[in-house]
Structure 1
């Protein structure tokens, strides 16, 4: 049986021990929501104008230059800062629950710096796809869902990687963060991954196409979710610090047998 790569991490770290970067991100998002609840409505609008992602900001035929605060700098930072704003406590709470579930293993695998960069890249990818599909729209987009979707995709790249490297153990899903990830084409042949991706896309397409009995809120920026997910899936290797080994060929044969 193949052994996992040795990493300078505590291999017996409790699964409920949340990485510090997750805790800090959660605290920042909760604090921002508290501030938005505390300030007067005019200040709340100013916060959205400065930090939310507003597609009309990039369309001079809709908004003249200088109408929104921040100028060129805001044109750049709003691709990420929108992810720290939420529409209410239930919105931020739901995103934090998903970030805890999927962001925790990704943070343990990537480390703080890579994790934060990955958060920024997937958030920006979500904003980019939202911009392409909502050109000139004045409604601001907020929420960390695109980045959370990126964490889901990243977790898929390694959550089943243990099978080629070690015998089953009760803590195997926790230890999966230490094993080399299979190539994308191998991962996408796993029936469990196919099932997860199919259900995930079906749910998000339901947000766009509508669902019966008012189950779907049409204001959900589902395209941003898809943008974050796809980029997270594709760019995972650029952030993954767990190196590939010569044993990958054996790993691939075991996965395909």
Structure 2
């Protein structure tokens, strides 16, 4: 039967990114504990690495790749599934709008921005930070920049192809939209709450790097007009 919707009706760029995270997680389950510990030490983001890079696996080169590679590592399957679900929900609109190259650039820069925010708060911390939450936060922020406009996915446009290409307003005009402003406010509130009380999230042990989430979200808000291929509404 022709014309059927695919089971995974997600943009190719998002499938590529999520597939990479799944493959990395599965591979880590197949190696021994010692190798997995080495992978975390080599590719996770560790602020203390910048004070003494020679004391960490990867040395100086890891100073450059770890602000990005940490996003492909997850603490457990629940951690991974939460990020995959959030990416599928709020990464899809911006992935359809941006196309592959711009979307992957958004995700990468948001991940790096998250690591920078984490470093600024905990410059000497030796606890590895892992997870794609900062990258997903950047996707969420970019989607919020246009998704609440009339005719957009969350503005009555649904999943129609044209809904993903509605012109976006300037940032200040976005915040004048009550629904968009409420979404941003709730997002910050939830992240601050979970940052203080991480035990509220099932399956999560230890502190949540909420500063990295905020770094990624702010990067998504700021990057959107630079990457957006759609001509925006006048201010």
TM-score, length of structure 1 as denominator length: 0.81
Structure 1 unpaired stretches of 5+? 1-12, 253-257
> 1:159-170 to 2 correspondence within 5 Å?
159-163=147-151
Contact 2:150 2:157 in 1 (8 A): no
Counterpart of 1:41 in structure 2 is 33
| Conserved 8 A contact 1:210-1:218 | no
Give the whole-Å Cα distance in 1 for the aligned partners of 2:148 and 2:180. Answer: 9
The answer to whether residue 18 in structure 2 is matched with residue 26 in structure 1 is: yes
Whichever of the two has the greater Rg, that structure is 1
Q: 1:118: which partner in 2?
A: 106
Matched residue SS, 2:230: coil
In structure 2, do the counterparts of structure 1 residues 41 and 124 end up closer, same or farther at CA, with 3 Å as the change threshold?
same
Report the Cα distance in structure 1 between the residues aligned to 2:22 and 2:7, rounded to whole angstroms.
23
Unaligned runs of 5+ in 2: none
Residue 69 (1) aligns with residue 19 (2):
no
Q: What residue is the counterpart of 1:215 in the other structure?
A: 200
Separation in structure 1 between the aligned mates of residue 18 and residue 183 of structure 2, nearest angstrom: 26
What is the root-mean-square deviation in Å for CA atoms of aligned residues? 2.2
Aligned counterpart, 1:85: 73
Match of residue 56 from structure 1: 48
CA contact (8 A) 2:110 2:134 kept: yes
CA 1:168–1:132 in 2, change beyond 3 Å: closer, same or farther? closer
C-alpha distance in structure 2 between counterparts of 1:144 and 1:205, whole Å: 18
